[in-house]
Amino acid sequence: MIVNIALACLALAITVAVYRVLKGPSWGDRIMAFDFLTVNLAVLVVVLAVRTEITVLLDVALLVSILGFLSTVALARYLLRGRVFK
Amino acid sequence: MSASFLLLAAVLTPFGAAILAPFLGSSLKARAGLLLALAFAPALALLTQLGPALAEEPLSATLAWVPAIGLEIALRADGFSLMFALIVAGIGFLVMAYATAYLGAQERHGRFYSYLLIFGGAMLGLVLADNLIALFAFWELTSISSFLLIGFWDSRKASQDGAVKALLVTAFGGLALLVAVILLILAGGSTQLSLLDIESIRQSAYFIPAVTLLLLAAFSKSAQLPFHLWLPTAMEAPTPVSAYLHSATMVKAGLVLVAKFGWLFADTAFASIILYVGLLTLFWGAYLALRQQDLKALLAYSTVSQLGLIMSLYGAGYPLAATAHLLNQATFKAALFMVVGIIDHETGSRNLSRLSGLWRKLPLTFALALPAALSMAGLPPFGGFVSKELFYEDMLYKGWLPITLAVTGSIITFAYSFKFLSVFFGPLRSENPKVHEASLSFWWPVLPLSLAALLFGIYPLTLSWFTNLAAPGLGFEAEPLKLYKGLNLALILSVLTWVLGLALYLLRTRFIAWQQALTPSWNANTVFYALSAGLERLAQGLTKRTQGASFATHLRLIWLPFALAGLAVGGWFLPAKLTPVSLSFAVAALMILAGSLGVLLARSRLSALLFMGLAGFSSVLLFVLLRAPDLALTQLLIEAVTVILFLSVFRYLPVLKRHHRRRSVAIFDIILSLGVGTTVFAALLAVQTPIGERIKDYFLEFSEELAGGSNVVNVILVDFRGYDTMGEITVLALVGFSVYALLRLRARASSGKIEEERPDDD
Amino acid sequence: MMIKYPDVFFSVLARPVIFVLIALGLHLLLRGAKAPGGGFIAGLVVAAAALLSRMAMDRPLLSFNTRLLIPWGLLLAAATGIAPMLLGLPFLKSAFGYQTWPFIGKFPWETALLFDMGVFLVVVGITVTIIDLLAQEAEYELVVMEVESGQEH
Amino acid sequence: AEDVAVIRANWLTDLLMLIGSFFILAAGIGVLRFPDFYTRLHASTKLVTLGGLGIFIAAAVAFIPNAATERLLLIAAFFFLTGPLSGYMIARSGYLRGLPLYKEEGSADEWEAQGEGLEQFEKDNASSDD
């Protein structure tokens, strides 16, 4: 029962994230929303893992969080310096 | 060691050595050649298998590849193919030894030896192959290795051009062979050459196309008349390659084909076609050879004409004479090429007009060249005479036209053989003054070949020992060859040939001048270049008209048929298949939709990328909801790495300008995309029909038992469909290398701008 | 106006992340047959680690010339294909079983894993080479900019 | 074969899950309602990290029977590591690229106030080549 509440909150958070990505007045908002989305996705995957008891999903969650972080950092750095490496 | 294992080893060791060659080459430099020449040892060891037993049951060996569909490397060594294999291995061994002396210090030895060994293995495979598909595979491999070898000095324009032309012509022949092989397999009922049912092929409708394509392949490979243009320009290759590929072995692959399939066109119209093509090539090759100033070009055209001679004999149904001359030609032509290599190496040039009187400085080379050149001319004490006598006897039966062509061809052959020797006579003239005799390691490989040319003449039984080997295979009764067969018409014709040949040699300058006047402006080469240039213009015209300048029109053209097909097919059965879907799927699907719409409406490239990321991550969510962690992981990783690689490349993309679109074009695009959408949707619906069930059950049930893995997705990828994955990673590797090349190209171009050179990593 | 800021936090905190990514990659590769994983995914995870190491510490992940990984990977994959042929079995026939070693205990082995490693090497070879090239390109842009800005003063 | 874990729906998992989802809900509302970029950034990184930790520990407790807890703790550790860091990176590039701050009467931009400002920072940085 409680898991469904968590799922509902996550669903709301993700819809807000999508809204921010679409509307986001400035590109900063869009990147923040993108990061928000990926983090939420990781949590959502963990909650789904709890509900469906497939422990393999945890790897997916770990990778979602790390790669989400990686993409956000790359986006942030691209904005700051116009290039990703160096 | 069992015979079949030896047979397999004979074909496969050169390939093994080819893999080792680059490493040996870089460490041992030139001397690696001697070591690598041993790769031909198992093929030479086949000598031990010779003997009477071979006639009844030929040696055979099979290496199963996919036995279910009759695909295996099946080798069968009957007399003829074994004899030819020995020639390939013997001359291969000598050429490798010769190359150690010929190649300069700074050459890329490893690469040269590995190409040469790949060719050696492929040629052995081609000659011994019994499985038609394997025969085709080896045939193509010889074309590719000859392309690599001709273009070995890839910096020179001429060798690049020669290599491409050789590849185009021989690959064209290869295609013809592929279709011919397929037709034969269908008509003959088996992929095994020895088990083909001859009568059913003769009767079947495929007979005519199969044989014509077969002949096309043979003519293009053995440089017969219409396709002879690639051989002279193939002389850009290093001399060992010319001595090995373009005189003794590769160009004879066509002859092997004609000999092995002799029973196919024995007494049909094709036999006379081959006869006359062969004779015309004999005449035309000799006619052009006489005119050449460059020694190597002279030998190239001479090879073309000699191949014509042998082809006509196989076509006319006299395999004894043909095999005899094939042996002679292999030995004296390879020897002459190596002699030219020595002359070129010592005096620095191959041009007849600048060289003469070399026998004073190069007595040994002259001694080696003499028997080979005279054997080519067909003078008595040498092997050439024996086979030319047989040639005349057989041509006499064929009627007056073949014999006149044969005699005129031989007269000109006699003339250009003496022209070749003229480089040794007369006053000493050569470019670099200090000409000294070739070193031992240079001339010892030539020795056995010249001796053979002499031996075959003085003691013809050695020649008949070889030809008797080939007798059972090609279906002629073995008979000892004799130098002097008493006074008969053939002998008189030979004397006539010598006299006229000598006269032609003495009057050659006026003959060449007369030739100059006669030659038309076009010849085979100009036709070839005109054809390829025309093709290029056609291609450019076509792409300009169809694809147009902008990328958008390009895409529209691709999607239009797709959309029309979809609307036509998909339209009516859409509603039938929709099934209810749970809420969470709907949310994920909406997110993907939001993402893709975002990309459409995005103004800046960065937000477009973000929307793409959004769509990507929501499809990860979809996979998780569908409980497919494997797919979720893959999609996730590809998503993240793509986003970052995109970002790192953004700075090089041009500014995204909103190119205005007329309203009509915008509307057309919308309709087009809707059409494509329905097609994809219809396709997806079609796929969900039950066919999926059977395959799925098989994999689920057997994955644990057969492949020992419970993760069916990966087991399928790596085990059940392993061969597909191998194909995929090869494609992936090619993509990787091309991207690398592009990026290096850009780096090198931009590094040109500023002076200090970037640290080059490799 | 060229902004150059050393991201101290990022480069410091990136090291553990890179370590986990590589460990995760190898883990995914080795358990390929039993649980979600396999050559492709593991290769991409290592590519992500290479990206991170390039971005954070501006240092290549693998010091050797990664371009050579591609042919070696292909050779390994081809070898696992051809090896059974030498034993008379058809092409790409795979074998599997269980081994029990003293310390490790019972573990499954399968030749398909070797094939998977070949795939892994190819994927890593390609992605890391491209990443390094892009990084060199960016580094090269900087050199050009400095030279040009140097000329302005 | 999915690992079927017997989840003792004990009170600890439920409590932690509730706390976690409350924070995530708060984060959602924060991202929706906050006036400007920087404040929304706080919500989207700090709050979600806290909420995520709550849920991860709840899951860790839930997965004790089938030995997945240490993997979850690893995820939690990384969550804690990467969350604020990404927030910091975004905020920095946002500010240095000149995203406007939300100006209420009382608030002031300390960085601006100290007279440091963007240009000044430029000068020190441009001179030192790293």
Question: In degrees rounded to 5, what are phi and psi of residue C107?
Answer: -140, 145
Between B375 and B683, residue with greater pLDDT? B375
Distance from CA of A84 to the nearest CA of C (A): 7
Rounded to 10 degrees, what is the CA torsion of B733, B737, B738, B739?
Answer: 100
pLDDT score, position B579: 67
Q: Please give the Cα distance from D69 to B619 (Å, whole number).
A: 27
| CA closest to C21 among chain D residues | D78
Q: What percent of chain D has pLDDT over 90?
A: 18
Chain D residues whose CB is inside 8 A of the A66 CB are: 78, 82
Between C150 and B391, residue with greater pLDDT? B391
**Touching chains, C (3+ CB pairs < 8 A):** A, B, D
Distance from CA of B13 to the nearest CA of C (A): 14
Q: Please give the Cα distance from B616 to C41 (Å, whole number).
A: 16
Q: Please give the Cα distance from B720 to B731 (Å, whole number).
A: 19
Distance from CA of C113 to the nearest CA of A (A): 20
| CA closest to A74 among chain B residues | B644
Q: What percent of chain B has pLDDT over 90?
A: 6
Interface of C with B in 47-76 (CB under 8 A): 47-48, 51, 55, 65, 67, 70-71, 73-74
- Cβ contacts from C onto D, under 8 A: 28
pLDDT score, position B457: 82
- Cβ contacts from A onto C, under 8 A: 43
Q: Please give the Cα distance from A20 to A38 (Å, whole number).
A: 13
Candidates D20, D48, D74; nearest CB to A39: D48
Between B360 and D27, residue with greater pLDDT? D27
Question: In degrees rounded to 5, what are phi and psi of residue C100?
Answer: -120, 115
**Touching chains, B (3+ CB pairs < 8 A):** A, C
Beta-carbon count within 10 A of B553 CB: 13
Q: Please give the Cα distance from C151 to D13 (Å, whole number).
A: 65
**Touching chains, D (3+ CB pairs < 8 A):** A, C
Distance from CA of B642 to the nearest CA of C (A): 10
Candidates D29, D83, D93; nearest CB to A76: D93
pLDDT score, position B477: 75
| CA closest to A38 among chain B residues | B617
Q: Are B719 and C112 a contacting pair at CB < 8 A? A: yes
Chain A residues whose CB is inside 8 A of the B639 CB are: 67
Residue B585, C-beta contacts closer than 8 angstroms, at least 6 positions apart? B622, B625
Mean pLDDT for the stretch of residues B139-144: 92
Q: Are D24 and A16 a contacting pair at CB < 8 A? A: no
Tokens of B108: 């890329």
Q: Are D89 and C4 a contacting pair at CB < 8 A? A: no
Would you say residue B424 has pLDDT above 60? yes
Tokens of D110: 């300390």
Residue B111, C-beta contacts closer than 8 angstroms, at least 6 positions apart? B21, B22, B25, B152
Candidates D32, D71, D90; nearest CB to A32: D90
Give the model's confidence band at A35: pLDDT under 50 very low, under 70 low, under 90 confident, else very high: very high
Would you say residue D83 has pLDDT above 70? yes
Residue B546, C-beta contacts closer than 8 angstroms, at least 6 positions apart? B557
Q: Which residues, listed in sequence order, are joined to residue B192 by a DSSP beta bridge?
A: B131
Chain A residues whose CB is inside 8 A of the B627 CB are: 52, 54
Whether residue B585 lies within 8 A of chain A, CB to CB, comes out as: no
Residue B617, C-beta contacts closer than 8 angstroms, at least 6 positions apart? A37, A38, A41, A64, A68, B636, B639
Q: Are D122 and C10 a contacting pair at CB < 8 A? A: no
Chain A residues whose CB is inside 8 A of the C138 CB are: 83-86
Instruction: Calculate Rg over the CA atoms of chain B.
Output: 32
Q: Rounded to 5 degrees, what angle do the CA atoms B552, B553, B555 make?
A: 65
Q: Please give the Cα distance from A44 to A3 (Å, whole number).
A: 10
pLDDT digits (tens, 9 = 90+) for C25-52: 999 898 877 778 888 899 999 999 999 9
Between D111 and B91, residue with greater pLDDT? B91
Candidates B598, B640, B650; nearest CB to A22: B598
Residue with tokens 């690639």: B230
Q: Are A85 and C134 a contacting pair at CB < 8 A? A: yes
Distance from CA of A1 to the nearest CA of B (A): 16
Whether residue C58 lies within 8 A of chain A, CB to CB, comes out as: yes
What ipTM describes this predicted complex?
Answer: 0.85
Between B320 and B760, residue with greater pLDDT? B320
Whether residue C124 lies within 8 A of chain B, CB to CB, comes out as: no
**Touching chains, A (3+ CB pairs < 8 A):** B, C, D
Interface of B with A in 176-215 (CB under 8 A): none
pLDDT digits (tens, 9 = 90+) for B159-172: 888 898 899 889 99
Whether residue C146 lies within 8 A of chain A, CB to CB, comes out as: no
Distance from CA of A2 to the nearest CA of B (A): 17
Which candidate, B505, B154, B506, B522, places its Cα nearest to that of B162? B154
- Segments in B29-108 forming alpha helices (H): 32-37, 41-45, 53-56, 79-102
pLDDT digits (tens, 9 = 90+) for B370-405: 888 888 888 888 888 888 888 888 888 888 888 888
Candidates C33, C77, C144; nearest CB to B711: C33
pLDDT score, position D121: 62
Q: Are A77 and C7 a contacting pair at CB < 8 A? A: yes
Cα distances (angstroms) measured from residue A45 to each of B33, C32, D56:
62, 21, 11
Whether residue B648 lies within 8 A of chain A, CB to CB, comes out as: yes
Chain D residues whose CB is inside 8 A of the A84 CB are: none
pLDDT score, position B56: 67
Cα distances (angstroms) measured from residue B226 to each of B280, B524, B526:
10, 7, 13
Distance from CA of D65 to the nearest CA of A (A): 11
Helix (H, G, I), strand (E, B) or coil at D107: coil
- Dump strand ranges (E) for B12-149: 59-66, 71-77
Helix (H, G, I), strand (E, B) or coil at B288: helix
Whether residue B614 lies within 8 A of chain A, CB to CB, comes out as: yes
Query: Is residue B744 within 8 Å of B760, Cβ to Cβ?
Result: no
Residue C149, C-beta contacts closer than 8 angstroms, at least 6 positions apart? C2
Which candidate, B741, B557, B559, B380, places its Cα nearest to that of C129? B741
| CA closest to C47 among chain B residues | B641
Q: Rounded to 5 degrees, what angle do the CA atoms D15, B585, B619 make?
A: 95
Whether residue C101 lies within 8 A of chain A, CB to CB, comes out as: no
Q: Are A59 and B598 a contacting pair at CB < 8 A? A: no
Q: Are A2 and D55 a contacting pair at CB < 8 A? A: no
Would you say residue C68 has pLDDT above 60? yes
| CA closest to D23 among chain A residues | A9
Q: Are C51 and B66 a contacting pair at CB < 8 A? A: no
pLDDT digits (tens, 9 = 90+) for B77-101: 877 888 888 888 888 888 888 888 8
Q: Are C2 and D126 a contacting pair at CB < 8 A? A: yes
Q: Are A59 and C48 a contacting pair at CB < 8 A? A: no
Would you say residue B635 has pLDDT above 80? yes
Distance from CA of D128 to the nearest CA of C (A): 10
Candidates D4, D87, D96; nearest CB to A53: D4
| CA closest to A79 among chain B residues | B606
Q: How many CA within 13 A on the CB side of residue B612? A: 17
Residue with tokens 């051009």: B161
Candidates A55, A66, A76; nearest CB to D89: A76
A57-81 vs B605-625: helix crossing angle, rounded to 10 = 180
Whether residue C18 lies within 8 A of chain A, CB to CB, comes out as: no
| CA closest to B754 among chain C residues | C144
Q: Please give the Cα distance from C84 to B64 (Å, whole number).
A: 10
Cα distances (angstroms) measured from residue D99 to each of A28, A68, D91, D94:
8, 23, 9, 6
Cα distances (angstroms) measured from residue B278 to each of B218, B383, B396, B563, B580:
11, 21, 16, 55, 75
E strand or H helix at B734: helix B722-751
Give the model's confidence band at B51: pLDDT under 50 very low, under 70 low, under 90 confident, else very high: low
Q: Are C3 and D122 a contacting pair at CB < 8 A? A: yes
Between B706 and B245, residue with greater pLDDT? B245
Between B578 and B235, residue with greater pLDDT? B235
Q: Please give the Cα distance from B601 to C66 (Å, whole number).
A: 40
Query: Is residue A38 within 8 Å of D53, Cβ to Cβ?
Result: no
